């Protein structure tokens, strides 16, 4: 029956990150791999969902209020004027928003530029839609954008570019200069941009997230995707959205309706409450995550990782194995599970071979997630610190 | 080039082993078509260069490719091409349901068009969801389903069909049956593959198949019985036929495929090595005969994807919990597509769905008897108003012939019905490949409370004069 699978399906493999989570569960290892919180979601939002279920908001539904609230937030945060009636599509998570966007804009053979390292899912969504991913490597150690490399990656077939900022796995927040370079290149080549801004509220050191769409003349060629998941610690609710100019939004909406028809109704209701959370909520979110970042960053630095780049956003630290370490990233993660009972993600899964930086760096990075409770982080710190030698460095190095 | 990708859990030792070592992949996978997913052990699989990928990519010819010539820009020409949405969207438009619903609201019409209840689901299921939310089950679930739900699906399937399946390897949970259909099609259909549909059909089938680049062949079911024309089906089969997509109990006609019909389809599939995708979301709303899953016929499980969901059975259509049941190798393809469409399904609802599926027989009996009563009100009402009502054995739909009222076609009739009578029905021409075939029929639903059904019938009796 294998021959019955579609050719794209045959090339796909299960998510390595999900696999590691199952392993962590079974070994009772501390999971610093998958990027979801182990602390509860905010009570006011959970209660909103409970109340929605009790009030019988349980049938197929489109909650237009979400579009209105998202439009308000876009104006507040990025100065963007978004029409809630035509420009916003509610989807089952940013995952579905991104997939629907790809199906809406990509034809067979269209090229899509991505920055390496990158979240594993974009690649496959692009290929499922018949597109061809083209990778531009960000330059370590600070993951800077090389504008020449970017220029050279455009061809006549380039249809779109994907920008994820704050960035998974590195935690980089693209600078204004870099955004201007990207915007300039895309405008000159008349290319669409699809952004993944799920970590838009998780940003540190007084940095401000800038949405690429807010740069001059960019809104008409940008599709923004984001969700409730990371901002409100409800990754399991599957409420996200795409924001785009009306004709593209309409296409995305039509595809979404065929893929899932609608997002879970009670959680759409709860999204209204979430999106109206007071500024305090967002401030605490940032400061809590900032202290978690500091905690993990300092720990990793202390035990001998090369962490030249401190993440400015997202919930991840992309730590480099020191030169003395003879283990590959995969071997390292395996050993860390066995010897310290802590799971992280080997970085090579985020690099793609047709990008120039991949050759020499991909086996050296480990991604740690710090979207975990203080207890979990402390326990992980204890376990990791217990594995050091007399110089204070990890024995594994 | 090291690459971690797949690890498989070795349950004996609580270690993980790179999957190539455990050889859990279907054997064809050792062909390693895509260099991106090399394993870290360089010696085991050869590297594939970028050109290899292109060659494999070029095998995916399709009508989409052929029609995309107009978007090619000459290499010398620096003029940017206009921003374009994908060619695959040519078949996509706002759904008829949305259009009719807006018109209905505008005219204050009673909505017997869109297929969702105006009453709510059972308390015990809602409570289970609430409990799950409060118990902090709010983060990503396992991609292919919360284990308890997979088990509950398997248990229910065994009760209903007699088939014993492995919940871990043969069940995939999705955001509603709509997504199960999309994942099945995208995971199993190649551009150019022929897929047979029975018209009239639920509108997402055609759209999703065209997204996958399939060639659609339609077999029309005709009134009064909408029986399967087996000879026509036989002649529609070619060497390119990859699958038959069927729906029983059937939306919009309410027809249920009989054992004889299923056996005839089964033998054609076995003979020609064709897959079956069977949409069975209304299986618990089967009134005039027992629902039979084609997967339970001899020789069929190995080639069938059985699709179902929570929404219709438990009046919670907005929760978006569905599933696909298929043998492991086929499930694998569905899971891959699913993981890139939505990644995971709503967690608290999955816990509630597991509780729902373990409902006692009395729940299903009451569900049926409630719907039988509602159906009686609607069918008797429609007959007395003057429609020709076709027999519907299952689902909560009936189709009727509207021509006694003298309007040109189904869309004109539905518009008239909303504006002049204040009742919504759905024009069935949208459910056909050739809309002409549906112009005499409209679909009513009876998944509404009895008061609403009676009011709708009253309005029609008053204001719908037979010509």
What value does the mean pLDDT take over residues A76-82?
Answer: 95
**B169 in contact with A, Cβ within 8 Å:** no
Name the residue of chain B whose CA is nearest to A50's CA. Answer: B130
CB pairs under 8 A between A and B: 326
Architecture of A43-275 per CATH?
3-Layer(aba) Sandwich (3.40)
| Interatomic CA distance for residues B69 and B82, integer angstroms | 14
Strand partners, A196: A164, A225
Contact check, Cβ <8 Å, A103/B81? no
Record the tokens describing residue B399, joined without a space: 């189709």
**A43 in contact with B, Cβ within 8 Å:** no
> Hey, what domains does chain B have and what are their CATH numbers?
5-82 (no CATH), 96-120+362-463 (3.90.1150.10), 123-358 (3.40.640.10)
Q: Of chain A residues 268-327, which have a CB less than 8 A from chain B?
A: none
- Of B203, B200, B204, nearest to B222 by C-alpha is B200
pLDDT level of residue A210 (50, 70, 90 thresholds): very high
Which pairs from A207-211 meet CB under 8 Å and 24+ separation?
A: A207/A173, A207/A312, A207/A313, A209/A77, A209/A165, A209/A166, A209/A173, A209/A313, A210/A78, A210/A174, A210/A176, A210/A179, A211/A74, A211/A77, A211/A78, A211/A80
Contact check, Cβ <8 Å, A27/B14? yes
Q: Is residue A38 within 8 Å of residue A31, measured between CB atoms?
A: yes
Q: A194 by DSSP, 3-state: which?
A: strand
Residue tagged 């050191």 (tokens) = A205
| Interatomic CA distance for residues B150 and B136, integer angstroms | 20
- The reported pLDDT for the residue numbered A317 is 97
**A101 in contact with B, Cβ within 8 Å:** no
Picking from B14, B68, B89, the nearest residue to A108 by CB comes out as: B68
| Interatomic CA distance for residues B195 and B190, integer angstroms | 10
Chain A hits for B189, CB-CB cut-off 8 Å, are 6
What value does the mean pLDDT take over residues B58-72?
Answer: 28
| Interatomic CA distance for residues A292 and A308, integer angstroms | 18
Picking from A5, A20, A255, the nearest residue to B188 by CB comes out as: A5
Which one has a higher pLDDT value, B76 or B464?
B464
Which one has a higher pLDDT value, B164 or B340?
B164
Q: What is the mean pLDDT of chain B?
A: 82
**B34 in contact with A, Cβ within 8 Å:** yes
Contact check, Cβ <8 Å, B65/A41? no
Record the tokens describing residue A110, joined without a space: 């269209």
For residue B309, give how far its alpha carbon lies from the nearest alpha carbon of chain A (Å).
12
Q: Is the pLDDT confidence value at B365 over 70?
A: yes
- The reported pLDDT for the residue numbered A356 is 56
- The reported pLDDT for the residue numbered A270 is 95
Chain B hits for A40, CB-CB cut-off 8 Å, are 136, 138
Contact check, Cβ <8 Å, A59/B142? no
Contact check, Cβ <8 Å, B318/A58? yes
Cα separations (Å) of A192 from A96, A122, B81, B85, B102? Answer: 18, 15, 11, 10, 32
Q: Is residue B459 within 8 Å of residue B423, measured between CB atoms?
A: yes
Number of H helices and E strands in chain B, helices first, is: 16, 15
- The reported pLDDT for the residue numbered B98 is 73
pLDDT level of residue B170 (50, 70, 90 thresholds): very high
Record the tokens describing residue A131, joined without a space: 């597109």
Name the residue of chain B whose CA is nearest to A6's CA. Answer: B188
Q: Is residue A367 within 8 Å of residue A297, measured between CB atoms?
A: no
| Interatomic CA distance for residues B342 and A93, integer angstroms | 7
The dihedral built from the CA positions of residue A280, A285, A290 and A291, taken in this order, carries a sign that is positive
For residue A27, give how far its alpha carbon lies from the nearest alpha carbon of chain B (Å).
6
Chain B hits for A121, CB-CB cut-off 8 Å, are 339-340, 343
Q: B275 by DSSP, 3-state: which?
A: strand
Q: B15 by DSSP, 3-state: which?
A: strand
Q: Of chain B residues 270-309, which have a CB less than 8 A from chain A?
A: 275, 302-303
Contact check, Cβ <8 Å, B320/A258? no
Domain boundaries, chain A: 2-41+280-385, 43-275
- The reported pLDDT for the residue numbered A357 is 52
Q: In the β-sheet with B304-309, what is the strand arrangement from edge to edge? A: B171-174, B322-325, B304-309, B275-279, B241-247, B194-199, B215-220
The model's pLDDT over A260-290, given as tens digits with 9 standing for 90+, comes to 989 999 999 999 999 999 999 999 999 999 9
pTM of the model: 0.76
**A130 in contact with B, Cβ within 8 Å:** yes
Q: Is the pLDDT confidence value at B113 over 80?
A: yes
| Interatomic CA distance for residues B381 and A336, integer angstroms | 71
Strand partners, A369: A316
Q: Is the pLDDT confidence value at B130 over 80?
A: yes
DSSP label at residue A342? E
Chain B hits for A353, CB-CB cut-off 8 Å, are 1, 35-36, 38
Q: Of chain A residues 337-356, which have a CB less than 8 A from chain B?
A: 337-338, 346, 348-349, 352-354
The model's pLDDT over A58-74, given as tens digits with 9 standing for 90+, comes to 998 889 999 999 999 99
Mention every residue, 6+ apart, whose C-beta is less than 8 A from residue B412.
none
Interface test with A, best of B19, B31, B36, B350 (most A CBs within 10 A): B36
- The reported pLDDT for the residue numbered B69 is 29
CA angle at residue A92 from A91 to A93, to 5 degrees? 95
What value does the mean pLDDT take over residues B259-277?
Answer: 97
**A85 in contact with B, Cβ within 8 Å:** no
Name the residue of chain B whose CA is nearest to A121's CA. Answer: B340
Contact check, Cβ <8 Å, B242/A19? no
pLDDT level of residue B6 (50, 70, 90 thresholds): very low
What value does the mean pLDDT take over residues A228-249?
Answer: 95
For residue B282, give how far its alpha carbon lies from the nearest alpha carbon of chain A (Å).
16
Contact check, Cβ <8 Å, A1/B302? yes
The dihedral built from the CA positions of residue B296, B221, B88 and A63, taken in this order, carries a sign that is negative
Q: What is the mean pLDDT of chain A?
A: 91
Chain B hits for A325, CB-CB cut-off 8 Å, are none
- The reported pLDDT for the residue numbered B23 is 25
- The reported pLDDT for the residue numbered A359 is 55
Chain B hits for A38, CB-CB cut-off 8 Å, are 139
- Of A264, A70, A110, nearest to A194 by C-alpha is A110
Name the residue of chain A whose CA is nearest to B352's CA. Answer: A53
User: B223-251: b or e for each residue (b if 16 or more CB lie within 10 Å)?
Assistant: eeebebeeeebeebbeeebbbbbbbbbbb
Record the tokens describing residue B103, joined without a space: 């018109």
DSSP label at residue B79? S
The model's pLDDT over A16-59, given as tens digits with 9 standing for 90+, comes to 666 666 677 777 889 898 889 999 999 999 999 999 999 989 99
**A31 in contact with B, Cβ within 8 Å:** no
- The reported pLDDT for the residue numbered A389 is 87
Which one has a higher pLDDT value, A13 or A276?
A276
CA angle at residue A274 from A76 to A315, to 5 degrees? 80
Instruction: DSSP for A218-265, please give it.
Output: TGGGEEEEEESTTTTT-TTS--EEEE--HHHHHHHHHHHHHHTSS--H
Q: Of chain A residues 52-81, which have a CB less than 8 A from chain B?
A: 53-54, 56-61
Contact check, Cβ <8 Å, B333/A34? no
Name the residue of chain B whose CA is nearest to A362's CA. Answer: B2
Picking from B60, B72, B140, the nearest residue to A236 by CB comes out as: B140
Helices B328-341 and B176-188: crossing angle in degrees, nearest 10, is: 110
- The reported pLDDT for the residue numbered A354 is 59
- The reported pLDDT for the residue numbered A6 is 76
What value does the mean pLDDT take over residues A218-239?
Answer: 95
| Interatomic CA distance for residues A297 and A204, integer angstroms | 13
Instruction: DSSP for A355-386, please give it.
Output: STTHHHHGGGEEEEE--S-HHHHHHHHHHHHT
Quick one: fold of A2-41+280-385? 3.90.1150
Which one has a higher pLDDT value, B250 or A33?
B250
**B145 in contact with A, Cβ within 8 Å:** no
What percent of chain A has a predicted confidence (pLDDT) above 90?
75
Contact check, Cβ <8 Å, B138/A95? no
Q: Is the pLDDT confidence value at B376 over 90?
A: yes
The model's pLDDT over A147-206, given as tens digits with 9 standing for 90+, comes to 999 999 999 999 999 999 999 999 999 999 999 999 999 999 999 999 999 999 999 998
| Interatomic CA distance for residues A133 and A122, integer angstroms | 9
Q: Is the pLDDT confidence value at B83 over 90?
A: no
Q: B277 by DSSP, 3-state: which?
A: strand
The model's pLDDT over B282-329, given as tens digits with 9 standing for 90+, comes to 999 999 999 999 999 999 999 999 999 999 999 999 999 999 999 999
- The reported pLDDT for the residue numbered B79 is 39
DSSP label at residue A144? B
Chain A hits for B74, CB-CB cut-off 8 Å, are 156
| Interatomic CA distance for residues A387 and B270, integer angstroms | 59
Q: Is residue A113 within 8 Å of residue A122, measured between CB atoms?
A: no
- Of B214, B186, B429, B95, nearest to A253 by C-alpha is B95
Across A120-134, B83-97, B185-199, B363-377, least confident range: B83-97
**A34 in contact with B, Cβ within 8 Å:** yes
Instruction: DSSP for B186-214, please give it.
Output: HHH--TT-EEEEEES--HHHHHHHHHTTP
- The reported pLDDT for the residue numbered A16 is 62
Residue tagged 């020609």 (tokens) = B272
Chain B hits for A4, CB-CB cut-off 8 Å, are 188, 242, 275, 303, 329-330, 333
Mention every residue, 6+ apart, whose C-beta is less than 8 A from residue B135.
none
What value does the mean pLDDT take over residues B213-221?
Answer: 95
CA angle at residue B267 from B261 to B272, to 5 degrees? 130
What value does the mean pLDDT take over residues A339-346?
Answer: 91
Record the tokens describing residue B284, joined without a space: 């618990």
DSSP label at residue A327? S
Q: Is residue B181 within 8 Å of residue B307, measured between CB atoms?
A: yes
**B313 in contact with A, Cβ within 8 Å:** no
| Interatomic CA distance for residues A80 and A75, integer angstroms | 5
Chain A hits for B140, CB-CB cut-off 8 Å, are 34, 36, 235-236
Q: Is residue A111 within 8 Å of residue A155, measured between CB atoms?
A: yes
Q: Is residue A113 within 8 Å of residue A355, measured between CB atoms?
A: no
Mention every residue, 6+ apart, whose C-beta is less than 8 A from residue B248.
B255, B256, B257, B278, B279, B280, B291, B292, B294, B394
Contact check, Cβ <8 Å, B175/A238? yes
Chain B hits for A61, CB-CB cut-off 8 Å, are 318
pLDDT level of residue B5 (50, 70, 90 thresholds): very low
Record the tokens describing residue B115, joined without a space: 């297929």
Rounded to the nearest 10°, the torsion over CA A232, A234, A238, A239 is -20
pLDDT level of residue B61 (50, 70, 90 thresholds): very low
The model's pLDDT over B223-240, given as tens digits with 9 standing for 90+, comes to 999 999 999 999 999 999
Ramachandran category for residue B145: left, alpha or beta (phi over 0 → left; psi -120 to 50 → alpha) = left
- The reported pLDDT for the residue numbered A122 is 95
């Amino acid at each position: 029956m294998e021959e019955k699978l579609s050719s794209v399906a045959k090339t796909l493999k299960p998510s390595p990150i999900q696999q590691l989570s199952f392993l962590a569960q079974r070994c009772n290892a501390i999971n610093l791999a998958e990027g979801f919180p182990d602390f509860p979601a905010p009570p006011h939002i959970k209660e909103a969902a409970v109340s929605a279920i009790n009030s019988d908001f349980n049938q197929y539904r489109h909650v237009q209020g979400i579009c209105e609230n998202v439009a308000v937030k876009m104006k507040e945060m990025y100065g963007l004027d978004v029409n809630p009636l035509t420009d916003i599509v509610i989807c089952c998570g940013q995952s579905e928003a991104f997939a629907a966007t790809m199906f809406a804009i990509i034809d067979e053979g269209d090229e899509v530029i991505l920055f390496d390292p990158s979240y594993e899912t974009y690649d496959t969504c692009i290929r499922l839609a018949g597109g061809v991913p083209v990778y531009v490597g960000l330059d370590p150690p600070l993951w800077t954008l090389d504008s020449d490399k970017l220029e050279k990656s455009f061809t006549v077939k380039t249809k779109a570019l994907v920008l994820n900022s704050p960035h998974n796995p590195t935690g980089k927040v693209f600078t204004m200069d870099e955004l201007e370079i990207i915007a300039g290149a895309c405008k000159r080549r008349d290319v669409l941009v699809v952004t993944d801004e799920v970590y838009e509220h998780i940003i540190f050191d007084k940095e401000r997230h800038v949405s690429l769409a807010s740069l001059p003349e960019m809104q008409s060629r940008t599709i923004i995707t984001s969700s409730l998941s990371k901002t409100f610690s409800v990754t399991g609710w599957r409420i996200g959205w795409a924001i785009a100019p009306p004709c593209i939004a309409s296409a995305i909406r039509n595809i979404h309706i065929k893929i899932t028809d609608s997002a879970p109704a009670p959680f759409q209701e709860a999204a209204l409450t979430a999106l109206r959370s007071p500024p305090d909520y967002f401030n605490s979110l940032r400061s809590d995550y900032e202290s978690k970042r500091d905690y993990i960053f300092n720990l990793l630095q202390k035990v001998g990782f090369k962490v030249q780049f401190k993440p400015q956003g997202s919930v991840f630290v992309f730590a480099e194995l020191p030169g003395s370490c003879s283990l590959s990233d995969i071997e390292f993660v395996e050993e860390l599970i066995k010897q310290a009972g802590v799971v992280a993600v080997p970085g090579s899964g985020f690099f793609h071979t047709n990008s120039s930086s991949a050759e020499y760096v991909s086996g050296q990075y480990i991604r740690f997630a710090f979207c975990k409770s203080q207890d979990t982080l402390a326990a992980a710190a204890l376990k990791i610190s217990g594995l050091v030698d007399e110089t204070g460095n990890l024995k594994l190095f | 080039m090291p690459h971690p990708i797949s690890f498989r859990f070795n349950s004996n030792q609580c270690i993980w082993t790179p999957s190539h070592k455990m050889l859990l992949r279907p054997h064809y996978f050792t062909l390693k078509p895509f260099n991106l997913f090399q394993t870290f052990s360089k010696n085991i699989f050869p590297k594939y260069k970028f050109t290899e990928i292109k060659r494999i990519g070029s095998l995916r010819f399709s009508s989409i490719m052929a029609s995309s010539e107009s978007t090619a820009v000459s290499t010398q020409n620096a003029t940017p091409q206009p921003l374009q949405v994908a060619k695959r969207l040519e078949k996509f438009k706002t759904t008829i349901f949305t259009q009719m619903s807006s018109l209905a609201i505008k005219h204050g019409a009673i909505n017997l068009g869109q297929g969702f209840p105006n009453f709510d689901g059972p308390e015990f299921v809602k409570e289970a969801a609430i409990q799950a939310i409060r118990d902090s089950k709010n983060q990503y679930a396992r991609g292919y389903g919360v284990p308890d739900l997979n088990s509950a699906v398997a248990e229910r399937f065994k009760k209903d069909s007699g088939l014993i399946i492995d919940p871990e390897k043969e069940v995939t949970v999705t955001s509603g049956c709509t997504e199960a259909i999309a994942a099945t099609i995208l995971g199993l259909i190649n551009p150019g593959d022929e897929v047979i549909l029975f018209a009239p059909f639920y509108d997402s089938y055609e759209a999703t198949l065209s997204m996958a680049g399939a060639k659609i062949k339609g077999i029309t079911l005709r009134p009064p019985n909408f029986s399967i024309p087996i000879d026509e089906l036989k002649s529609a089969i070619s060497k390119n036929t990859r699958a038959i997509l069927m729906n029983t109990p059937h939306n919009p006609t309410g027809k249920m495929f009989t054992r004889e019909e299923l056996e005839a389809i089964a033998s054609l599939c076995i003979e020609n090595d064709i897959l079956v995708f069977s949409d069975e979301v209304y299986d618990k709303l089967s009134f005039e005969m027992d629902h039979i899953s084609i997967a339970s016929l001899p020789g069929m499980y190995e080639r069938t994807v059985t699709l179902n969901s929570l929404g219709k059975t438990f009046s919670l259509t907005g929760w978006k919990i569905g599933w696909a049941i298929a043998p492991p190798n086929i499930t694998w393809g569905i899971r891959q597509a699913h993981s890139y469409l939505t990644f995971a399904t709503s967690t608290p609802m999955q816990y509630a769905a597991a509780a729902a599926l373990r409902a006692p027989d009395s729940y299903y009996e009451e569900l049926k008897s409630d719907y039988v009563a509602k159906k009686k009100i609607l069918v008797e009402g429609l007959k007395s108003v003057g429609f020709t009502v076709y027999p519907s054995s299952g689902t909560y739909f009936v189709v009727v012939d509207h021509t006694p009222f003298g309007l040109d076609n189904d869309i004109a009739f539905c518009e008239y019905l909303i504006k002049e009578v204040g009742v919504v029905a759905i024009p069935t021409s949208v459910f056909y490949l050739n809309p002409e075939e549906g112009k005499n029929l409209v679909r009513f639903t009876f998944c509404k409370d009895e008061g609403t059904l009676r009011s709708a019938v009253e309005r029609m009796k008053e204001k719908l004069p037979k010509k």
